[in-house]
Amino acid sequence: MQAMKDTQIKKLIEAEKKRQKSVINLIASENVVSKDVLEALGTELTNKYAEGYPGKRYYGGNEVVDKLESLTQDRARKLFGLNASRWHVNVQALSGSPANLAVYLALVPLGGKIMGMSLDNGGHLTHGYKVSMTGKAWKQIPFGVDPKTETIDYVDLKAKAIAEKPDIIVGGFTAYPRIVDFKKLRAIADACGAILMVDMSHFAGLVAGKAYPSPFEYADVVTTTVHKTLRGPRSALIFSRLDKTITNQKGVAHSFSELIDKAVFPGLQGGPHLNQVAAVAVALKEAASPAFKKYAVQIIKNAAALADELKKLGWRIISGGTDSHLILMDTWSPPVGGGAGLGGKEASDRLEKAGIIVNKNTIPGETRSPVDPSGIRLGTAAETTRGKKEKDFRKIAQKIDKVLRKR
């Protein structure tokens, strides 16, 4: 391939490549994609406009991209063991936030209620939090964790759901380390007449690798980004049950799938980013391999080792550990054995100087602010891609301890 002529941008790309290689990346929502994924992103598919869906476009010249989009849908269903007669998948959402917004736009009347995990308990902004559009156009009914166990309080969740009658319940998280009980969420949704959506963005790769429970047996809609544990490009998928319908005021029933497709395009977006769709297809095929299954299992083993070592070193880990790729560490509580605690911002800054990249994060019962909260979030997906094993993560824990304990 000819070298890039824009040397200014080329230099920045090279600098970022070097930065990524030189650090230990513990950002729980990042990963390192394959060369094939990168290659698909940098192709002529970016030149093509294809507003609409396969077989129903508003532009000509779609014989290739129709095949591409249908193949991507087939691969997405196959990866999660879904039957095409029961599940539809939209592969056009540009990323996780627009995907979640599209679901609400399709299925929840404006002003209706979204029941989602609160931000400081590990929920995502798009689960109805006030600063997101999802908290402005709809009302959030927050649920959270039991303050003692720091795991989801399903009894409280059920009581709130029955009292508030939300239109939709969102299971899923951005900073919650444990398994979510989808069966319980289904029963609660049924008890209050809500739709059950699961946002599996963080753990989709773990579900694909059968290392974390699948939500598909219980959910009506499942959204996911592709770029976290699933190790693909920045993008999102929206799975919906074909047999679920909403009847409009004229008495006409529309399937969730039909309504979601319309919400994505023309509701929120224009033409799909087809180079991105191709890269999603590549990542989905990679995630179906036996090597990926081993990878998913290793991610969790590594997270368990990291949490265990940090605990042994005297740090408080939210909920006492992890069942996934992510750990929430309380940096504000002083560690056992000496040293004072420190705010999440200082912890994250110090670690960055030492070559470890994390993000500051609120913790359940947060008493500080989101810009300088009480903890940090750690994830093991990216460094597991780079081949690290439990012993490496124990060493990383020791390095974290050294950097944070130092006065």
* CA–CA distance, 404 with 407 (Å, rounded to integer): 8
> Minimum distance between the CB of residue 141 and ligand DSN, rounded to whole angstroms?
21
Element spanning 299, H or E: helix 290-312
Determine if 98 is a binding residue for ligand DSN (CB under 6 A).
no
In the range 234-273, which residues lie near ligand DSN by CB under 6 A?
none
174 binds ligand DSN (CB under 6 A): yes
Q: Give the CB-nearest residue to ligand DSN.
A: 29
Nearer to ligand DSN, 377 or 394 (CB): 377
Contact pick of 24, 25, 26, 29 for ligand DSN (by CB under 6 A): 29
Write down the least CB distance from residue 176 to ligand DSN, Å. Answer: 11
CB of 23 to ligand DSN, least distance (A): 17
Amino acid at 145: V
Residue 346 designated active-site: no
Question: Is 350 in the active site?
Answer: no
Residue from 30, 36, 48, 49 carrying the catalytic annotation = 49
> Could you give the CA distance from residue 337 to residue 335 in angstroms, rounded to a whole number?
6
Closer residue to ligand DSN, CB minimum distance, 201 or 374? 201
Is the CB of 119 or the CB of 306 nearer to ligand DSN?
Answer: 119
Shortest Å distance, C-beta 127 to ligand DSN? 11
* Greatest extent of the chain over all pairs of C-alpha atoms, in Å: 68
Total of chain residues touching ligand DSN, rule CB under 6 A:
4
Q: How far is CA 67 from CA 71, 258, 271, in A?
A: 6, 20, 16
Contacts of 148 (CB under 8 A, 6+ apart): none
Q: Contacts with ligand DSN in 114-133 (CB under 6 A)?
A: 124
Closer residue to ligand DSN, CB minimum distance, 29 or 257: 29
Q: What is the dihedral of CA 209, 283, 376, 371, to 10 degrees?
A: -140
Q: Which of 89, 125, 116 is nearest to 257 (CA)?
A: 89
Shortest approach of ligand DSN to residue 214 CB, angstroms?
A: 20
Residue 139 or 234 having the CB closest to ligand DSN? 234
With a CB cutoff of 8 Å and minimum separation 6, the contacts of 387 are none
Which CB atom, from 29 or from 348, has the smaller least distance to ligand DSN? 29
Give the ranges where 234-289 is alpha helix by DSSP (H): 256-262, 274-287
Q: How far is the CB of 256 from ligand DSN (least distance, A)?
A: 23
Q: Pattern of binders to ligand DSN over 57-96, x per CB under 6 A?
A: ---------------------------------------x
- Catalytic site includes residue 86: no
Place of tokens 């039957």: 83
- Is 134 a binder of ligand DSN (CB under 6 A)? no
Minimum CB–partner distance for residue 130 and ligand DSN (Å): 16
Catalytic residue among 48, 139, 184, 234: 234
202 close to 172: Cβ distance less than 8 angstroms: yes
The one catalytic residue in 69, 150, 153, 199 is 199
Task: From the candidates 223, 225, 322, 384, give the one annotated as an active-site residue.
Answer: 225
Task: Give the amino acid at 62.
Answer: N
Judged by beta carbon, residue 30 or residue 258, the one nearer ligand DSN is: 30
∠ Cα 353 298 289 (to 5°): 120
| Residue tagged active-site, from 30, 36, 51, 372 | 51
DSSP string spanning 132-193? SHHHHSSEEEEE-B-TTT-SB-HHHHHHHHHHH--SEEEEE-SS--S---HHHHHHHHHHHT
Residue 187 CB, nearest approach to ligand DSN (Å)? 27
The first and second tokens of residue 324, run together, are 């996934």
Of 160, 228, 241, 377, the active-site residue reads 228
Residue 49 a catalytic site member: yes
**Among the listed residues 100, 28, 72, the one whose alpha carbon sits nearest the alpha carbon of residue 276:** 72
Is residue 282 a contact partner of residue 73, using CB atoms and an 8 Å limit? no
Q: Is 234 a catalytic residue?
A: yes
Using CB atoms within 10 A of its CB, is residue 301 exposed (0-12), middle (13-18) or buried (19+)? Answer: middle
Q: Residues in the site for ligand DSN, rule: CB under 6 A?
A: 29, 96, 124, 174
User: Residues with catalytic annotation?
Assistant: 49, 51, 199, 225, 228, 234
